Structure 1
Amino acid sequence: MLHQYLKDAILELKNLIELTRRDVADLSEAKNEEIFQRLPQKENLIKSFEQKKSMIDRSMVELRDKNPSKSLSELLDQEALDLLDELKLSLKELKDLNAGYARSVYAVNEFYTSLLRKIIPHESSGYGGHAKPQQSFLTIQV
């Protein structure tokens, strides 16, 4: 069963990677609606991956408990070790992709925030330096 859990987890990671790549491409073209439509699918894949990871952990603990004198690398066959390596590489790829995506989202957010502040004058208020729209500007426009 361990092999199947590993294969399923890798498949879910690859699907998450593909969806994230599509998000990056859609972000650059300002296709926000498509990004938001993929969110439930990504959330389901993440939950499913977490369940598979839990089953992988449980299987490995059971294997180790049955053979306490051996290391885990001695207990796993070559296919399981190869699948674990592939899982690790997929996780790293997803992490790197998400880091780049997060930087892009932050840059877009900063762009729109600065644009909004140029269009609607803001005044700084209080200790936190939080900017809020000038009320006089808004009432004049109304």
Structure 2
Amino acid sequence: MVKHYLDEAISELGELIAITKQDIENIQKADHSHVDDHSKKKTELVRKFEKTKSQLDNELVKLAQANAGTDLASMLSDEIKDRLAQLRDSLETLQKFNKEYAKSVVVVKEFYDSLLKTMLGAQNPSSYGDGTKSSLADAEKLLKLRI
């Protein structure tokens, strides 16, 4: 079962990595048509991975308890150890791409925030309506709802 859960976890991480790579490419192309679908799919994959990881942990605990006093590493086959290393590599790869994705999202958000402030006259409050912050905040909420 350990091998099965490892394979499943690695596969789920592979899908997450592929979607995240695609999201980065889409941000660079300013293509937001897949944001909703990808967000839902990534959320589902994360849940599946968490469940698989929990099942893997339970199997490893059972194995350790069944062989009390024996080092867990010595009980695992070389194939399982290789898969654990592959799981770790996949997690590190996902982390790398998530960091890159987060940087891109922040840059885009800052761009849109500055654009919004410029469009709504935040640089010169008296040029937009009565210049109150509430009208700017209302306009920002309206724009965010539409996005």
Tell me if TM exceeds 0.5: yes
Q: Secondary structure at the match of 2:19?
A: helix
Structure 2 matches for 1:20-59, cutoff 5 A? 20-59=20-59
Q: Secondary structure at the match of 1:30?
A: coil
Q: Which runs of 4+ in 1 moved over 4 A?
A: none
Larger RCO (CA within 8 A; separation ≥ 6) = 2
Give 1:33 deviation, angstroms. Answer: 2.3
| Structure 1 unpaired stretches of 5+ | 124-130
Give me the CA root mean square deviation: 2.0
CA offsets 1:63-115 (integer angstroms, 9 cap, x no match): 11011111110111111100000000000000010001001100010011111
- Whether 2:110 is the aligned partner of 1:90: answer no
TM-score normalised by the chain length of structure 2: 0.83
- Percent of pairs identical after alignment? 33
User: Which of the two has greater strand per residue?
Assistant: 1
CA offsets 1:27-64 (integer angstroms, 9 cap, x no match): 11121121222111111111111111001100000011
Question: How many residues end up aligned between the 2 structures?
Answer: 131
| Structure 2 unpaired stretches of 5+ | 136-147
Comparing 28-37 with 105-114, greater Cα deviation is found at 28-37
Give the equivalent residue in structure 2 for 1:126.
Answer: none
TM-score normalised by the chain length of structure 1: 0.85
- Whether 2:138 is the aligned partner of 1:136: answer no
Counterpart residue type for residue 102 of structure 1: A
Give the equivalent residue in structure 1 for 2:3.
Answer: 3
Q: Distance in 2 between matches of 1:34 and 1:41?
A: 10
Counterpart contact for 1:27–1:35, Cα < 8 Å: no
Q: Distance in 2 between matches of 1:135 and 1:11?
A: 54
